[in-house]
Amino acid sequence: MTKSSLTGLFEDTAVAFRYKSDAAVRKAYLIFSLLNHPWLSALASSAATLALKLSLPVGSIIRKTVFDLFCGGESIETTALAVERLGKYGVHTILDYSVEGEHTEAGFDHVMHETVRTIERAAKSTLIPFSVFKVTGLGHAA
């Protein structure tokens, strides 16, 4: 896709969001409108972090709002449906494995294994042009 066709894609919201229902577009607009206020975004992020640390049942709220908006799944396998659905509309997907904070060799090995799996999955699909990962998940920061 050329730069000019990409520009047209993002200027024409009917094309850019044609894979979403009207309700999904309204929901995304509402969430982005709220996140556009830095103080509200910081407050929501802090509240979610605290709620998760306190084991409050907020997982379904997070899943139905920001997770559904930004994530296609929790594993390579569960993203397959989103990749295929977006691909039908000419939208390519990025596999983003962004885990960090591991402290054991077993944890680092697991992150490395999953990172390699995302790269291998992207290599096999024309709908996934590349994958992304956090290097800080692969070992201790020196």
Identify the H or E element spanning 97.
Answer: strand 94-97
Burial of 16 (C-beta count, 10 Å sphere; 0-12/13-18/19+): middle
Q: In the prediction, which pLDDT does 116 show? A: 93
Q: What is the pLDDT of residues 8-34, one digit of tens each?
A: 555 676 766 788 888 988 998 898 898
| Better-scored residue on pLDDT, 97 or 46 | 46
Instruction: Tell me the pTM.
Output: 0.69
